[in-house]
Amino acid sequence: MKLGKTLGAAFVASVSWACMAAAQTELTMWYHGAGNEAESAALQLIIDDFNASQSDYTVMVESFPQESYNDSVVAAALAGNLPDILDVDGPVMPNWAWAGYLQPLNIDEAVIENFLDGPQGYWDGQLYSIGFWDAAVAMVSRQSTLDALGLRTPDVDNPWTGEEFAAALEAAKASGNFEYALDLGMPWTGEWYPYAFSPFLQSFGGDIVDRSTYATAEGALNGPEALAFGNWWQSLFVDGYAPGTSQDPADRDTGFIDGKYAFSWNGNWAALGALEAHDDVVFLPAPDFGAGSKIGAASWQFGVSATSENADGASAFIEFALQDKYLANFSNVTGLIPATSTAAAMTDNYASGGALEVFFGLSEGQAMVRPVTPGYVVSAKVFEKALADIANGADVADTLDAAVDEINADIERNGGYGH
């Protein structure tokens, strides 16, 4: 009798469990972090917590390598095989929204009120995606180098002017202690160019496209300010301050640590390595060339695919993931800048007095998102090519004019990209 009762109870429990499992809707999610164990573990923690927190949905993640992630998503969109939740690179988001891969994100926007600009994915007046983190670039140097060259130590409130920066490069070159004064990371082709170098253009007063209309690059990329930027950019290589496009990639990774460069324009992801190598590393803000000191904002974000039949569940997961404890944990394992100041205070590196605290200030005070337009994916490549050509000695005005023509032709071909 006792055995019968036990078996009966077990049967009822298993049926209940099976019914509950059957009632749960599976949400598929694609993520770009394959191969990054720490990042994947941090994401899995959020997923596990979400799955345990409610009984309506179960999130299942499929990770892709970052280098090929966008191609996989575009191919899946063509084949009509997108998941519910998509991971998207911030500057690419408008293109995917415009192309119909994403739908507006339906979350309580009060939750993201205190988020940095970089992780917020707005396009066409609607929120499409939101990220956990931002990344920032700084002029990496050593205090001993600044002191030896007799240079002022700039900070976020008082960055170097263009003239001060020019004097700093000249002093480093004249000292004879370095192979080059400045390492810009020229071998990092691709998105590094618009992300890292277009803020210089914006600091001169130009831009990749005219952001007031997003209908043209005329004036923004070939106006007087852009020409001044182009001439300055070319002078860095012609005058021997920075290695050009043929820079050895190995030197990009180890050159500053080995003392080959006085200054290195690099991101917060490389900061801990520099700090391990030298105890007097300083992270300086970008120079102000007249229109303010600027750096690029950068974030991968989460959105809901346009074909998802479970948008409510997908949005619920994304909103769940935006809690400070998860943002902080994500920052701790990846080294990236958490999206909120409250999460930053909970981290090892970005809390007050943390080794990378300065980067949160840079992101908060200077970061500028790349042009928020579906056409960015094309104009970014045009901009990259123009910068490489100018670095290699091409005529500045002709190159920028040609870049403007190419960007405008693309905008026209695509009917203005919906702006």
Applying CB under 8 A, among 47, 137, 270, 356 the residue interacting with other proteins is 270
Q: How many CB atoms lie within 10 A of CB 1?
A: 5
By CB under 8 A, is residue 36 in contact with other proteins? yes
Task: Tell me whether residue 207 or residue 251 sits nearer to other proteins (CB atom).
Answer: 251
397 binding other proteins? (CB under 8 A): no
Question: How far is CA 21 from its chain centroid?
Answer: 38
**Torsion over CA of 392, 393, 395 and 398, rounded to 10 degrees?**
-10
1's CB contacts (< 8 A; 6+ apart) are: none
d(CA 179, CA 263): 11
- Is residue 66 part of the contact set for other proteins (CB under 8 A)? yes
Is 253 a binding residue for other proteins by CB under 8 A? The answer is yes
Cβ proximity to other proteins: between 35 and 290 the closer is 35
Q: Which of 47, 63, 172, 316 binds other proteins (CB under 8 A)?
A: 63
Pick the piece of the chain touching other proteins (CB under 8 A) from 30-38, 115-123, 139-147, 161-169.
30-38
Q: Are strands 120-123 and 337-338 parallel, antiparallel or unpaired?
A: unpaired
Q: Which of 7, 18, 250, 409 binds other proteins (CB under 8 A)?
A: 250
Q: Using the rule CB under 8 A, is 6 a contact of other proteins?
A: no
Structure tokens belonging to residue 206 = 């130009």
58 binds other proteins (CB under 8 A): no
For the CB of residue 298, give the shortest distance to other proteins in the complex, in Å: 10
Residue 290 interacts with other proteins (CB under 8 A): yes or no:
no
Q: Which residue's CB is nearer to other proteins, number 66 or number 106?
A: 66
Strand runs labelled E in 98-253 = 102-103, 120-123, 126-131, 133-134, 137-142, 180-183
Residue 276: CB atoms within 10 Å: 10
- Give me the least distance between CB of 285 and other proteins, in Å please: 21
Q: Which is nearer to other proteins, 310 or 373 (CB)?
A: 310
**Residue 19 interacts with other proteins (CB under 8 A): yes or no:** no
Please check whether residue 381 is in contact with residue 403, taking contact to mean a CB–CB distance below 8 angstroms: no
- Which two structure tokens, joined as six digits, stand for 94? 């408008």
Q: Are 83 and 305 in contact (CB under 8 A)?
A: yes
Identify whether the C-beta of residue 247 lies closer than 8 Å to the C-beta of residue 187: yes
Place of tokens 């976020």: 156
Contact with other proteins (CB under 8 A): which of 78, 212, 279, 352?
78
Does 246 contact other proteins by CB under 8 A? no
CA 131 to chain centroid, in Å, comes to: 10
Is residue 401 a contact point for other proteins (CB under 8 A)?
Answer: no
Environment class of residue 83 by beta-carbon count within 10 Å: exposed (0-12), middle (13-18) or buried (19+)? buried
Q: Does 26 bind other proteins (CB under 8 A)?
A: no
189 is a site residue for other proteins (CB under 8 A): no
Can residue 71 be called a binding residue for other proteins (CB under 8 A)? yes
248 touches other proteins by CB under 8 A: yes
Q: Count of residues binding other proteins (CB under 8 A)?
A: 30
Closest approach of other proteins to the CB of residue 12, in Å: 31
Contact with other proteins (CB under 8 A) among 26, 62, 108, 398:
62
φ, ψ at 108 (rounded to 5°): -70, 110
Residue 75, CA atoms < 13 Å, CB-side half-sphere? 5
Instruction: Decide: is 65 part of the binding site for other proteins (CB under 8 A).
Output: yes
Q: Which residues bind other proteins (CB under 8 A)?
A: 30, 34-37, 62-68, 71-72, 75-76, 78-81, 248, 250, 253-254, 257-258, 267, 269-270, 273
